Amino acid sequence: MSLIVNSFLDLILLFINLYIWIIIVAALLSFVNPDPRNQIVQIIRNLTEPLFRFIRSKLPFIVIQGVDLSPILIIFLLNILTKVIWGLHI
């Protein structure tokens, strides 16, 4: 594969890994309930909440007794996407 395509796939993988870390931070923040006016908290919520909300609307059973499992599902799906991209990369 050409160098440009490999570089583009590497960039996609970088963004996927970064988004996985943002999801992990968002999940951890949900336990401590930080100040919602904090700019960092607002950025993290703006990056993650639309996807969380979409998953919750399509799969309402993903919230079990008040515990939202949508971050786990999203990370799982992003890991599958990473494996597919690695298959294309080689």
| Integer Cα distance of 8 and 76 in angstroms | 22
Structure tokens at 82: 């990473």
Task: Indicate the pTM of the whole model.
Answer: 0.89
Please tell me the predicted confidence (pLDDT) of residue 42: 96
Write out the chain's pLDDT in tens, 90 residues. 688 888 999 999 999 999 999 999 999 999 998 998 999 999 999 999 999 999 999 999 999 998 999 999 999 999 999 999 988 776
Environment class of 74 (CB within 10 Å of its CB; exposed 0-12, middle 13-18, buried 19+): buried
Count Cα atoms within 13 angstroms, Cβ side, for 86: 9
- N residues, the chain: 90
DSSP H or E run through 8: helix 3-32
